[in-house]
């Protein structure tokens, strides 16, 4: 069974990951910082934006793959996948622009990430119960 839909959102997440990694590397090279952040606030912030994506991506993307394997409809998978990508972009922009403080994008990015995570978990639990 091809996993085309989850593959799409995994690929988009990978591209976002590379973009955020590039941002960290660019700051490291600009400020000649080999490891850590050396107290550089811009680098610390870029590392957290990147790290937050990497902390959330594995569980959400795994839940998406399982939902697709369980036969969840394409429309619902695309809703979850699109919400995920939009949430992570909003979070990255919001955390950066808010410089670690409150920002609309950060708040809604986190909230939407949680909604996608819980929505996919519930979708998979419903599929499990339906197959008992």
Mean pLDDT of 82-106: 95
Tokens 């600009």 belong to residue:
30
Q: What is the mean pLDDT of residues 59-75?
A: 97
The candidate with the shortest Cα–Cα distance to 42, out of 120, 85, 127, 99, is 99
Domain boundaries, the chain: 4-130
Q: For residue 3, name the pLDDT band (cuts at 50, 70, 90).
A: confident
What is the average pLDDT score of the chain? 96
Question: How far, in Å, CA of 76 to CA of 6, rounded?
Answer: 11
Q: What is the CATH number of domain 4-130?
A: 1.20.120.550
Q: Which two tokens stand for residue 96?
A: 């950066």
pLDDT digits (tens, 9 = 90+) for 18-47: 999 999 999 999 999 999 999 999 999 999
pLDDT for position 68: 97
Q: What does the alpha-carbon distance between residue 13 and residue 70 come to, in Å, rounded to a whole number?
A: 22
């Amino acid at each position: 069974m091809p996993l085309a839909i989850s593959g799409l959102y995994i690929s988009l997440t990978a591209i976002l990951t590379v973009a955020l990694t590039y941002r960290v590397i660019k700051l490291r090279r600009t400020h000649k910082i080999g490891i850590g952040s050396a107290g550089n606030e811009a680098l610390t912030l870029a590392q957290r934006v990147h790290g937050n994506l990497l902390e959330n991506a594995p569980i959400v993307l795994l839940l998406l793959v399982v939902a697709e394997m369980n036969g969840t409809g394409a429309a619902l998978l695309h809703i979850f996948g699109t919400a995920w990508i939009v949430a992570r972009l909003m979070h990255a922009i919001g955390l950066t622009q808010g410089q670690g403080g409150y920002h609309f994008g950060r708040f809604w990015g986190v909230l939407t990430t949680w909604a996608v995570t819980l929505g996919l978990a519930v979708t998979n639990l419903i599929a499990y119960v339906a197959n008992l």
